[in-house]
């Protein structure tokens, strides 16, 4: 496979202070793109990632973002427009979860439901909406949404999380239509990535180990697996509207 050259491109990666987003940011910067990497609260993690990418010869600009807030999203996109004048890649990676067992319907409060749906589904839509003019401008843009196999089969940290990711999978198809032919829109449905904050909030270490053992390949996803699939999407101009599971093979997540 030919090497991916993103020199001159600008990539917005949300949630880069988290486990998967940081690795995605490293890969995209390593391919030559200038990365605009967002964090919500973890300013220290973000600063150390920016420094690390800079020391490796890449470019990474850290920006604070609360994607529940439309104002925060428009302010971020305005910074990108003014500072870089272009945007080629949007990676909708940021998300939030909390563990609520599916059977405990009463524990899934309106506040939890709203926070999850606002962060994981409305946020990616508002980001795509705000970024669309920049992404379309040069005719070769990409949106990659980071979803979950919980959006394909009814598993995950809560019903609200699973539904937010099912919505994100369909948003991928809808945006592929809306942004064609200038922007390809695709999605990665991740399986469990052990030892991330999100995985730790969803289940304890033994349950994570059991989930890994239950996959067909005996492995969950790693941040590197997710980043590699993302680069594969960025290489292609003939794939759009697709969701691919990167999960070690979870039978219920096969379509
Ligand atoms: N880890 C897994 O097992 C797993 C499995 C399936 C799918 N995924 C998906 O993979 C993606 C990355 O997950 P991860 O494991 O890297 O999670 P993580 O370590 O918890 O990181 C989540 C990221 O989202 C940011 N974030 C949270 N709320 C936000 C908000 N309101 N506005 C903007 N940013 C916000 C966090 O910012 P701060 O840290 O700065 O607060 C952090 O950067 C998510 O979409 C997740 O659903 C993960």
**Distance separating alpha carbons of residues 225 and 245, to the nearest angstrom:** 11
Sites in the chain below the pLDDT cut of 50: none
**CA 66–ligand 1 middle distance (angstroms):** 12
Contacts of 109 (CB under 8 A, 6+ apart): none
Catalytic positions are 161
Domain ranges of the chain: 10-247
**Hey, whose CA ends up nearest to atom 21 of ligand 1?**
18
Pocket test of ligand 1: the residue of 12, 94, 114 to mutate, having most ligand atoms within 8 Å of its CB, is 94
CA of 94 from ligand 1 middle (Å) equals 4
CATH, domain range 10-247: 3.40.50.720
Radius of gyration of the chain (CA): 17
CB contact at 8 A, 12 and 80: yes
* Rounded Cα–Cα distance for residues 82 and 202 (Å): 39
Contact 234, 89 (CB under 8 A): yes
User: Interior CA angle at 106 toward 147 and 192, to 5°?
Assistant: 25
Q: How many CB atoms lie within 10 A of CB 238?
A: 5
- Of all protein residues, the one whose alpha carbon is nearest to atom 46 of ligand 1 is 95
First-to-last CA distance in the chain?
Answer: 26
Instruction: Kindly give the distance from the C-alpha atom of residue 14 to the centroid of ligand 1, in angstroms, as a whole number.
Output: 9
Q: Which atom of ligand 1 is nearest to the CA of 220?
A: 3
* pLDDT value of residue 255: 76
Query: Atom 7, ligand 1: which residue's CA is nearest?
Result: 148
Diameter of the chain measured on Cα atoms: 52
Expressed in angstroms and rounded, the spacing between residue 2 Cα and the centre of ligand 1 is 30
Cβ pair 35, 57 in contact under 8 A = no
* H or E element that contains 35: strand 34-39
Backbone angles phi, psi at 31, to 5 degrees: -80, -5
Q: How far is the CA of 96 from the centre of ligand 1 (A)?
A: 6
In this prediction, residue 115 carries a pLDDT of 98
Burial (Cβ within 10 Å: 0-12, 13-18, ≥19) of residue 92:
buried
Containing 83, the helix (H) or strand (E) segment is helix 70-83
User: What atom in ligand 1 is closest to the CA of residue 65?
Assistant: 33
Query: Ligand 1: residues whose CB is within 6 Å?
Result: 14-15, 17-21, 39-42, 65-68, 93-96, 119, 146, 148, 190, 192-193, 196-199
Atom of ligand 1 nearest to the CA of 199: 3
Residue 3's pLDDT is 83
Whose C-alpha lies nearest to ligand 1, atom 18? 18
């Amino acid at each position: 496979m030919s090497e991916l050259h993103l020199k001159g491109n600008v990539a917005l990666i949300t949630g880069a202070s988290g486990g998967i987003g940081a690795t995605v940011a490293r890969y995209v910067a390593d391919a030559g793109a200038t990365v605009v990497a967002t964090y919500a609260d973890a300013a220290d993690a973000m600063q150390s990632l920016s420094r690390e990418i800079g020391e490796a010869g890449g470019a990474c600009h850290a920006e604070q973002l609360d994607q529940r807030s439309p104002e925060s999203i428009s302010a971020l996109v305005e910074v990108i427009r003014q500072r870089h004048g272009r945007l080629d890649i949007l990676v909708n990676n940021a998300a939030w979860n909390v563990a609520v067992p599916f059977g405990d319907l009463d524990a899934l409060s309106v506040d939890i439901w709203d926070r999850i749906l606002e962060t994981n589904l409305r946020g990616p839509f508002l980001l795509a909406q705000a970024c669309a003019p920049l992404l379309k401008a040069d005719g070769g843009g990409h949106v990659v949404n980071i979803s979950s196999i919980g959006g394909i089969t009814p598993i995950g940290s809560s019903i609200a999380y699973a539904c937010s990711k099912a919505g994100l999978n369909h948003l991928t198809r809808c945006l592929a239509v809306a942004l064609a032919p200038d922007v390809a829109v695709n999605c990665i449905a991740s399986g469990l990535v052990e030892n991330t904050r999100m995985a730790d909030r969803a289940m304890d270490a033994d349950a994570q180990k059991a989930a890994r053992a239950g996959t067909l390949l005996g492995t969950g996803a790693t941040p590197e697996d997710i980043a590699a699939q993302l680069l594969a999407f960025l290489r292609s101009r003939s794939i759009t509207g697709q969701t691919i599971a990167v999960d070690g093979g979870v039978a219920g997540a096969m379509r």
